[in-house]
Structure 1
Amino acid sequence: MRTIAVVTGTRADYGLLRGLLRAIEDDPQLNLRLIVTGTHLSDAFGHTVAEIERDGFRIAASVPIWSGTDTPVAAAEDVGRALPGYAEALKEIDPDVVVVLGDRLEAFAVAAAATILSVPIAHIHGGELTEGAMDDALRHSITKMAYLHFTSTADHRRRVIQLGEDPERVFFHGAPIVDILDTFDVMPPREVEEQFGIRLPEPTALVTFHPAIMDVAPASELVGELLGGLLAVDELHIVITGSNSDIGTEAVRERIARFVAEHPDRVDYVESFGQRAYLSAMRAASVVAGNSSSTVLEAPVLGVPSVLVGDRQKGRPIAASVEVPEPSAEAIADALRRRIAGGPVTDHDSPFGAPGFAARTAATLRNAEIPRPPKKTFHDLEQGDDDER
């Protein structure tokens, strides 16, 4: 039996990992050990560890990381303080492999601790680009620390190989969200309204905005332009969800809180929907707006048009249903009007593979050779190295 540690630090990555957690839990040859960290443990961000507990997963270790201050220096200090906590958790669990997803500081810190302890790493969503944030540097660093790679598109697989990873250890298993969207039980709009005390009239914009320190403009300016553009669209109802814990989030959250208080007739706020309710609210919305990855991933797959603000997702595959206006209130308002007038998207292609990510990934975690220590050599590119696995 292999022991698989899986790390989750936010409501977003937990939603993507839930299917894989079930697949690992249901496999008699795999032993799941879940490490919970990041905003899951913060009351300010909705204490979303409660959702994990409601789902019935046993938590093997909880590692607090964030101090509550959102400056770059504070974030660096938080990561430094978190390393011993992650190291102790990994030492206690002693997994055969630790699974991390994405590019956040929590994932980077866990990967660093695992590397020092010679614990093999399996990385989900490597090879991607988000040029408006520091995520690229963190993501590619995790790729170089990881032994197994599960990419969401064939192009992302090729990028991981470009970084010197052996094609035999890089798998295009598709995006976790495809599994979720293929099977999730959509809530009726009225049920979402009643559960969260919000309104979902026609038209409604579902909005999420996260700060990104390498964006086209400071986050405090961008969120102001976004909110101004939303307000300029006559009769548009606005449902805003909570920002994450990235650097600069305090100013963004304060600006959104003022906006919500100033326009109670047109704006509702939900700190954290949880995945099923969030996707159900998205399905009911006329347009999705902001700079969350859901603007370019979930929304196009669900057929909901979206307006992407700023450079935070620059470099990701952008569907035809996603409009990227200039970062001004006027341009954002015009884009929102066009997307709403165009209605739902009925013809769209997805590069993110077929459903089955969780089953394919669990099988690879069970069957792949995973040495410890995870010694690897740099793979130089040769013709034909971009074949799919």
Structure 2
Amino acid sequence: MSRRIAVFTGTRADYGLLRGLIRELADAPDVELQLIVSGSHLSDAHGRTVQEIERDGVPIAASVPIWRDDDSAPAATRDVGDAVGRYGATLDTLSPDALVVLGDRLEALAVALAATILGIPVAHVHGGEVTEGALDESLRHAITKLSYLHFTSTASHRDRVVQLGEEPDRVFFVGAPIVDAVASLDILSRDELRDRFGIRLARPTILVTFHPASADVLPPLELLEELLGALEAVTTHDVIVTGSNTDIGSNAVRERIARFVAEHPDRVDFVESFGQLGYLSAMSASAVVVGNSSSTVLEAPVIGVPSVLVGDRQRGRPLAASVATPAPGREAIATAIREARRVDGGATELFGTPGFAKRTAEILRTHDLPRYPRKPFHDVPLRSSD
């Protein structure tokens, strides 16, 4: 008897990380894959990245639009509330045996909540991590408590999920999905990148991604100004900027980035969405990765490209030696960019070995998946204070 496994994707980033698992489940003879596509995938302003999924030939079981144009916090609460209902209707129709969710975004929280209400076991990827400078920190831990199975990227993240009260036999250290992606990467050449995306890559290049984070060390636009000031100061490098996520406050960030790109047509290119292959290829061809995206602490170290992490959005994640964390001022950021040096090998030891997709798919295929799962709270003995 086959299992129906639903996989949820709401952004270009989580689809790139889940692609290997999606393929593994699609190829399994005892699994019926149900892919649910939502969030910025369906937004024209963010590149309508559902087209990347369609090009991969993966059947889409449901497309669920949730975001409107208003990026304010009150609007986000309304959109998320509506999303729970829309996801609930979709899941009720599909009736999967489990739902796979990755990460820490509002879309992921909404779909995990809908599944929990319907009694569908949630399988959470990348739980137990810390990002102190972002709202995502709270969302991730909330999704952990809504989830029945847990697939963590490091052993310490597994320990943290257990610390949150999850039973150890439902928490698995399977490594980071990005390690799989890099291990199987057939990167595009510089000429292919130039032809496909219209970028120059003639000089050393800085690859930049910046997302607004309300809990960061500075307000998002102030931190962005410091980053842009640093990029202006490093005149020896060209710059490629990628599009921001659909986060609270993203419209103002995107408008400021658009002005910066227009002001520097001689050395700054903009690509809304590369897709995973294009993004990792562009990263491999770059001298340094800069910004506050998780790719500065995951993808870049695994590939072996130095990175400069701006602000506190990723504070608390394990950092490879190749990740610089300057003070949030333009001079310090510019210095870190100038001093970045290519790294031999890559930091795969931080995030496990290739095989995330196979290990995770096997657990999803064989582990007990009770409808309306019961989760006893697993108490971790506390150390007595001195």
* 1:236 and 2:237 correspond: yes
- Show the counterpart of 2:307: 306
Q: Shift of the alpha carbon at 1:108?
A: 0.0
* 1:359 and 2:358 correspond: yes
Partner Cα separation in structure 2 for residue 48 and residue 7 of structure 1: 14
Relative distance call for 1:194 and 1:363 in structure 2 (3 A) is same
Q: Shift of the alpha carbon at 1:347?
A: 6.4
Q: Secondary structure at the match of 1:107?
A: helix
Partner Cα separation in structure 1 for residue 239 and residue 83 of structure 2: 37
- Show the counterpart of 2:284: 283
Q: Secondary structure at the match of 1:268?
A: strand
- Show the counterpart of 1:387: none
AA matched with 1:16: L
Q: Shift of the alpha carbon at 1:352?
A: 0.7
Q: Deviations over 1:233-274 (max 9, x none)?
A: 122100000000111101110110000000000100000000
Q: Secondary structure at the match of 1:317?
A: coil
AA matched with 2:349: S
Cα RMSD, aligned residues only = 1.0
- Show the counterpart of 1:87: 88
Partner Cα separation in structure 2 for residue 360 and residue 302 of structure 1: 22
Partner Cα separation in structure 1 for residue 202 and residue 316 of structure 2: 33
AA matched with 1:178: V
- Show the counterpart of 1:50: 51
Partner Cα separation in structure 1 for residue 12 and residue 280 of structure 2: 13
Which TM-score applies when normalising by structure 1? 0.96
Q: Shift of the alpha carbon at 1:201?
A: 2.2
Partner Cα separation in structure 1 for residue 352 and residue 4 of structure 2: 27
Q: Deviations over 1:86-132 (max 9, x none)?
A: 00110000000000000000000001101111111000000000000
Partner Cα separation in structure 2 for residue 259 and residue 34 of structure 1: 37
Partner Cα separation in structure 1 for residue 71 and residue 346 of structure 2: 41
Q: Deviations over 1:290-341 (max 9, x none)?
A: 01101011111111011110000000011111101111111111111111xx
Partner Cα separation in structure 2 for residue 248 and residue 158 of structure 1: 33
Partner Cα separation in structure 1 for residue 348 and residue 33 of structure 2: 34
Q: Is the 8 A contact 1:307 1:324 kept in 2?
A: yes
Q: Shift of the alpha carbon at 1:348?
A: 4.2
Partner Cα separation in structure 2 for residue 343 and residue 181 of structure 1: 17
Partner Cα separation in structure 2 for residue 58 and residue 162 of structure 1: 38
Q: Secondary structure at the match of 1:264?
A: coil
Q: Is the 8 A contact 1:321 1:345 kept in 2?
A: no
**Equivalent residues, number:** 381
* 1:381 and 2:380 correspond: yes
Partner Cα separation in structure 1 for residue 329 and residue 251 of structure 2: 22
- Show the counterpart of 1:74: 75
Partner Cα separation in structure 2 for residue 344 and residue 26 of structure 1: 36
Runs of 4+ in 1 over 3 A off after TM superposition: 343-349
- Show the counterpart of 1:33: 34
- Show the counterpart of 2:369: 370
- Show the counterpart of 2:189: 188
Q: Secondary structure at the match of 1:4?
A: strand
Partner Cα separation in structure 2 for residue 224 and residue 123 of structure 1: 35
- Show the counterpart of 1:248: 249
Partner Cα separation in structure 2 for residue 49 and residue 81 of structure 1: 21
- Show the counterpart of 2:262: 261
AA matched with 2:207: L
- Identify the range of structure 1 (279-288 vs 197-206) with the bigger mean alpha-carbon deviation: 197-206
- Identify the range of structure 1 (344-353 vs 8-17) with the bigger mean alpha-carbon deviation: 344-353
Which TM-score applies when normalising by structure 2? 0.97
* 1:123 and 2:124 correspond: yes
Partner Cα separation in structure 2 for residue 224 and residue 141 of structure 1: 32
AA matched with 1:362: A
Partner Cα separation in structure 2 for residue 271 and residue 191 of structure 1: 17
Q: Is the 8 A contact 1:305 1:345 kept in 2?
A: no
AA matched with 2:158: R
Partner Cα separation in structure 1 for residue 29 and residue 348 of structure 2: 36
**Contiguous gaps of at least 5 residues in structure 1:** 384-389
* 1:17 and 2:18 correspond: yes
Q: Shift of the alpha carbon at 1:382?
A: 4.7
Partner Cα separation in structure 1 for residue 342 and residue 16 of structure 2: 27
- Show the counterpart of 1:386: none
Q: Shift of the alpha carbon at 1:376?
A: 1.1
Q: Taking every aligned residue pair, what percent have the same amino acid on both sides?
A: 64
Partner Cα separation in structure 2 for residue 2 and residue 329 of structure 1: 52
Relative distance call for 1:168 and 1:343 in structure 2 (3 A) is closer
AA matched with 1:275: Q
